[in-house]
Structure 1
Amino acid sequence: MLNFKGKKRVDKLDSKEEPETGKRKAQVLAVWGSPGCGKTTISVKIAKYLAEKKKNVILVISDMTVPMIPCICPMDELENIWSLGNVLAAPHITKGLIEENCIVHKKIKYLAMLGMLRGENEYTYAPYEAEQALEFLAGMRELSSYIIIDCGSYIANDILSAVALMEADAVLQMVNCDLKSISYLASQLPLLQETKWKVERHLKTINNIKGQEAINHMEQVLGKVNFQIPSASEVTEQGMAGNLLAGLEGKKSRGFNNEIEKIVKEVYGC
């Protein structure tokens, strides 16, 4: 069984030889939506679910304005700490370069992460172009069959997120039950429709649901909704504590866990 080794360089990331429990429908999932809708939380929970099923998964957190690696788990749980900025700033991005900069978790051996670190921002490293972002995605496709990209909300100025939305096999389009999310979609969806983004690949998802009345209203605005993720106090507490990779044990989290499982089955077929 292949897995991510706790070394400076990951020895072997390819999961093509893993036994399958179902037909995979996608390789790269982009998670995108309005600011504060829970993109990182859902991305982390999907990655953890796959890792627990012994799938080699790479989680990429693309936000350069608010580095989220320090918000996912205690830093002492990580085997090494490398920055996504090291990869994107390279003139030419290779599979080996990505391997060298993967962050490995000490306890979750099937999970590797890439993201910006505390105190870094978009000006910490040399600027990159769409060419590097495309090379980055191509390199990751060689490394793993399960890739999750937590995209930034401001896609007009975020090259990696924009390229990920164009190149991903599936997009989890997320909103909360609020007017801010509706306003965001009204502003950003025209950008998608005017470019290469294939909106038919988008799986509409309402997150942090607290009441049926709000769901009905959002469905009127969005049309068909693929997933409805209920609010879970345990998830909120983990987010506040910076421990999103912890498990969910409470009975009130069952609805949340069930929706994560549905998303994985729909996207990856497992």
Structure 2
Amino acid sequence: MNTNQLLAVWGGSGAGKTTTAVKLAMELANHKKNVVILMCSFTTPAPQTLLPGTATEGKSLGELLCLPSISQDAILSRCIPFGKSSYISLLGYKSGDNAFTYAKYSKDRAVDLITLLRHVADYVIIDCENVFSFDVLSAVALENADAVLRLCTCDLKSLSYFKSSLPLLADARYRAARHIKVLSIVKPGQDSGEYKNTFGGVSYTLPYVPELEEQLRAGQMMNVLCTKQAEPYNAVIRDIANGVLLGIEPEAKPKKVLPALPVLSGKKLIKDFSLQKILPLKKPQPKQKQKSKPEKTDKRLFDKLRIGKGGRP
């Protein structure tokens, strides 16, 4: 199985792109891998959402893209450590930035940034802007990523978004047919089967987890999801990290071994389609010797005896 170093996470608004990117980075950190999460949105800068109260002055992605040239040191100086983790860093816009805060940059500048990020960290996860047609960095990420995680949700809004957006990725360089489709935030009772068919099949399904929503609201995304309800979600995140990024083959499920038939003494198993019965084995009866029938005596012998005794022939 091939490994992918650079993963782009893309989908409509509210599809869970940022939370998925963070939880995947945390799973990679469990394997002691250095991860940079590149956050492209300038409308809602993610670093302030994930780490409220963290100083971001002088650590803006916009400032980095406007430099005369980009270096690895310039990138590292603008990365924000994610909580207490020594393996995860965030790179995004700072609070107050918008589309007009910085000068426009070229596609070549975006390519340079992504190329350098490959040398800075073991893995790069790019949280793409949903309106990528107006964001050069997101468009370049979708074109140059090793793999793209396409997040879909079970609602008409998601269907409408992809109907409008996918034609923009029709060019072969985007390799849209190779996107890894994920059904995200699936709530209990939702008819996910119909949406899976509509999206052309999905590879993974991420269930809705109230604890995850609470973490995002409280700015505690660096905490591990520990409720029993979050176990299926954690399992899927682990599967995506292993299968898409780390290249770890899924463990083969042990085959069920049928129990051996009991050895019965003096009994036998009789299988009936309606029920199972265990009946006692009938002991073989010893064969009885048949009494030999007396041979029929020839009548002429009696005639001779009678003659010998003076009888008449």
Partner SS, residue 124 of structure 2:
strand
- 1:42 partner letter: T
Q: Which residue of 2 aligns with 1:50?
A: 28
- 1:164 partner letter: A
Cα deviations across residues 113-165 of structure 1 (Å, max 9, x unaligned)?
10111111122222211111000001001112211000000011010000000
- In the alignment, the residues of structure 1 paired with residue 2 and residue 32 of structure 2 have an alpha-carbon distance, to the nearest angstrom, of 15
Quickly say closer, same or farther: Cα 1:267–1:75, change in 2 above 3 A. farther
Q: Which residue of 2 aligns with 1:13?
A: none
Choose the corresponding residue for 1:159, options 131, 136, 159.
136
Q: 1:29–1:168: 8 Å Cα contact kept in structure 2?
A: yes
Q: Which residue of 1 aligns with 2:262?
A: none
Count how many residue pairs are aligned between Structure 1 and Structure 2.
247
Quickly say closer, same or farther: Cα 1:190–1:37, change in 2 above 3 A. same
- 1:91-240 → structure 2 map (5 Å cutoff): 91-194=68-171, 196-211=173-188, 213-240=190-217
| RCO higher in structure (CA 8 A, sep ≥6) | 1
**Is the counterpart of residue 30 in structure 1 residue 3 in structure 2?**
no
- 1:172 partner letter: L
**Is the counterpart of residue 244 in structure 1 residue 196 in structure 2?**
no
- 1:71, distance to aligned residue in structure 2 (A): 0.9
Partner SS, residue 191 of structure 2:
helix
- 1:210, distance to aligned residue in structure 2 (A): 1.0
The ranges of structure 1 where at least 4 consecutive aligned residues each deviate by more than 3 angstroms after the TM superposition are 78-81
- In the alignment, the residues of structure 2 paired with residue 37 and residue 50 of structure 1 have an alpha-carbon distance, to the nearest angstrom, of 21
Q: Percent identity?
A: 37
TM-score normalized by structure 1?
0.87
- 1:267, distance to aligned residue in structure 2 (A): 1.3
Cα deviations across residues 153-194 of structure 1 (Å, max 9, x unaligned)?
001101000000000000000011100000001101111013
Query: Who wins on radius of gyration, i.e. which is larger?
Result: 2
- In the alignment, the residues of structure 1 paired with residue 17 and residue 83 of structure 2 have an alpha-carbon distance, to the nearest angstrom, of 24
Which consecutive residues of structure 2, in runs of 5 or more, have no partner in the other structure?
Answer: 249-313
RMSD, aligned α-carbons? 1.8
- In the alignment, the residues of structure 2 paired with residue 63 and residue 83 of structure 1 have an alpha-carbon distance, to the nearest angstrom, of 12
Which consecutive residues of structure 1, in runs of 5 or more, have no partner in the other structure?
Answer: 1-22
- In the alignment, the residues of structure 1 paired with residue 56 and residue 132 of structure 2 have an alpha-carbon distance, to the nearest angstrom, of 31
Q: 2:154–2:190: 8 Å Cα contact kept in structure 1?
A: no
Q: Which residue of 1 aligns with 2:40?
A: 62
